[in-house]
Amino acid sequence: MLEPKKKYGELAPTERILLGAGPSGVDSRVLRAMSTPLLGHLDPEFIEIMDDTRDLLRYVFQTENTMTLPMSGTGSAGMDTVLSNLLEPKAKAIVAYCGVFGQRMVDIAKRTGAEVEVVQSEWGHIIEPEQVEAAFKKMPTAQVLAFVHAETSTGIMQPVKDIVKIAHDHGAVVAMDCVTSLGGAPVLLDQWGIDAAYSGTQKCISCPPGLAPISLNDKARKMLHNRKSPVSSWYLDLTMIERYWGQERFYHHTAPISMVYALREALRIIAEEGLEARWARHQLNARAFTAGCEAMGLKPFAQDGYRLPSLITLAVPEEVKEDEVRQYLLNKFQIEISGGLGPVKGQIWRVGLMGSNSTRKNVMLALTALAAALNAQGFKTSASAALEAATVVYNEAAC
């Protein structure tokens, strides 16, 4: 009989300050919610919890969409769900991207068997409306336009209004990735006319990874129910999952009970703070952190005027080794930040100030630690100058 290879001790992970691209820190209330007793996935009490969670998700998405629910899986499961349910073989789609996660949308869309027209912009820059218009001229019968609202790999926040209008003028359904914006920046599905959207729990919602909130309006649901072929993924098939989360409560798979508890509590915290106050908090802390970084001689990477308030990207100075800075922060300060992906690997840092981690305390700590890490590499800079610049931003906001 096989035996364990060693005696395994009790889990005791180091407490980190998670200021990377995700996951973000989690409020202690959310962790407590996860430790409460399990219920069955069809228990009347759990069904009430499901209803609460859906109502709160509608609030955070700012939508009245009936089909608003958390998929079992991380944010990538949300991406796969939305695209795999809307697209099928021989369908036509336009995917606009300027980073890694837009590229993933292209990959998933092609795997459905759909014909895909790609709109690409330089990394760190937005997709321009005229690029989308040009794509529709190439593919005038496209049924779906998909794009990323908050590109986690570059720190770009894509303007929505113009490209949504272009898509709707051509009769297309609009699918939007808001994984790194939901709960940290305005996401207004009904006001913006977004037909389908998905997110993740581990970013600005400040919940552990494991669920992917999605929302489809009636137009997107009609496309789903008019498919000529079954959804390729049984597990992510919304035609069945909506029956479990709807009035029918038809069994599909065992829901991750404790994760739903956690999401309900995280959403409840958001509702207590209020969306507008939460958005303003993220914006203020991003401005203060960016001002501090610029005072140290660092330059933002993302296009000016279109920067995410939840994820700040910084260009790495030529004389600095970006991975050694990240390792220094982790070893000396227990702070995690992220490096670049794809073409910008080794060229940028990604600093997340998301959800419960978007605080003045973390801004000041991160600036101090980053200054120390840069000085350790011979890039001479001043922590006091950074803190002073950030303080000016906070003082101006208080006036």
Domain boundary among 224, 252, 272: 272
| In a domain? residue 74 | yes
- Tell me: do 195 and 320 sit in the same domain: no
- Strand pairing category for 156-157 and 150-151: antiparallel
Angle between helices 275-295 and 360-376 (to 10 degrees): 20
DSSP per-residue string spanning 14-72: ---EE-SSS-----HHHHHHHTSPP--TT-HHHHHHHHHHHHHHHHHHT---SEEEEEE
* Residue 65 pLDDT class (50, 70, 90 cuts): very high
Predicted confidence at residue 241, as pLDDT, reads 94
Q: Is residue 20 part of a domain?
A: no
Considering the domain architecture, whether residues 119 and 135 belong to the same structural domain is answered as: yes
E strand intervals along the chain: 17-18, 67-72, 92-97, 115-120, 144-148, 150-151, 156-157, 173-177, 196-198, 211-216, 299-300, 311-315, 335-336, 338-339, 348-352
pLDDT-based confidence at 250, cuts 50/70/90? Answer: confident
> Do residue 237 and residue 290 come from a single domain?
no
Residue 2 in domain: no
Number of domains in the chain: 2
Same domain, 298 and 206: no
Is 72 part of any domain?
yes
Q: Do residues 187 and 41 both lie within one domain?
A: yes
Both 315 and 254 in one domain: the answer is: no
Residues 392 and 331 in one domain: yes
Does residue 221 share a domain with residue 105? yes
Establish if 317 belongs to a structural domain: yes
Judge if pTM exceeds 0.85. Answer: yes
The domain boundary, picked from 226, 253, 272, lies at 272
Q: Which residue has the tokens 């499901």?
A: 50
Bridge pairing between strands 144-148 and 92-97: parallel
What phi, psi does 91 have (nearest 5°)? -70, 165
Is 206:82 a contact under the CB 8 Å cutoff?
no
Picking from 237, 257, 272, the residue at the C-terminal end of a domain is: 272
Residue-number span of the structural domain to which 393 is assigned: 275-398
Q: Is residue 316 part of a domain?
A: yes
Say whether both 130 and 103 belong to one domain.
Answer: yes
In a domain, 178, yes or no: yes
Q: In angstroms, rounded to a whole number, what is the distance separating the alpha carbons of residues 105 and 248?
A: 31
CATH of the domain at 37: 3.40.640.10
Q: In this structure, are 199 and 309 located in the same domain?
A: no
Same domain, 136 and 237: yes
CATH code of the domain in which 378 resides: 3.90.1150.10
pLDDT at 31 over 90: yes
Give me the chain's average pLDDT, please. 96
Is it the case that residue 5 has pLDDT exceeding 90?
A: no
* Domain match, 307 and 209 both: no
pLDDT of 168-201, one tens digit each? Answer: 999 999 999 999 999 999 999 999 999 999 999 9
126 within some domain: yes
How far is 385 from 255, CA to CA, in rounded Å?
50
Residue 327 host element (H or E): helix 322-333
pLDDT per residue over 128-168, tens digit each? 999 999 999 999 999 999 999 999 999 999 999 999 999 99
